[in-house]
Amino acid sequence: MHLESLHLNPEKSKILHENSKELVKNLGKRFALQHQQTQIFKNHYLQSPYKSIVCGDFNNTAFSNIYREIKGDLLKDSFEEAGFGIGKTFHFKYFPFRIDFILPHKTFSVHKHETFNDGLSDHLPVMAVLSLN
């Protein structure tokens, strides 16, 4: 799953020079789009009879309402279950952001979570080893 990008440049200096009113306005629009996408996902997911694994670039952190709505009570976070450290998945010059997630249904066991620093993208790939109970 890929939620609407916030279109923030990873270079902090460029963000600081942007017009703050325009930045806030654009972020508000993007958050509203993410909320709409989340509602579409939830409607589909809650109707599915299958125990699923939701993976993707949420373009938002684990501290966001978007993340909490998607995770809900039915999913768990593979990083929280078996990861370690900060869990950075996005290259941002001064802040470590974890915006890429693997969220298996709570009936799965998480045995391992790993983040790879391959340098091929501004995102770091994540992997989880799971088993269905």
* Model pLDDT for residues 32-84, shown as the tens digit of each residue: 898 999 999 999 999 999 999 999 999 899 999 999 999 999 999 999 999 99
Query: What's the predicted TM-score (pTM) here?
Result: 0.82
Structural domains for the chain: 12-132 (3.60.10.10)
Q: What whole-number distance in Å separates Cα of residue 38 and Cα of residue 12?
A: 28
Q: What band does 131 get if pLDDT is binned at 50, 70 and 90?
A: very high
* Model pLDDT for residues 6-24, shown as the tens digit of each residue: 655 555 545 555 566 666 6
The residue type of 29 is: K
* Model pLDDT for residues 51-62, shown as the tens digit of each residue: 999 999 998 999
pLDDT for residue 51: 94
- CB-based contacts of 70, cutoff 8 Å, min separation 6: 38, 41, 42, 54, 58, 103
pLDDT for residue 95: 80
Q: What whole-number distance in Å separates Cα of residue 28 and Cα of residue 7?
A: 12
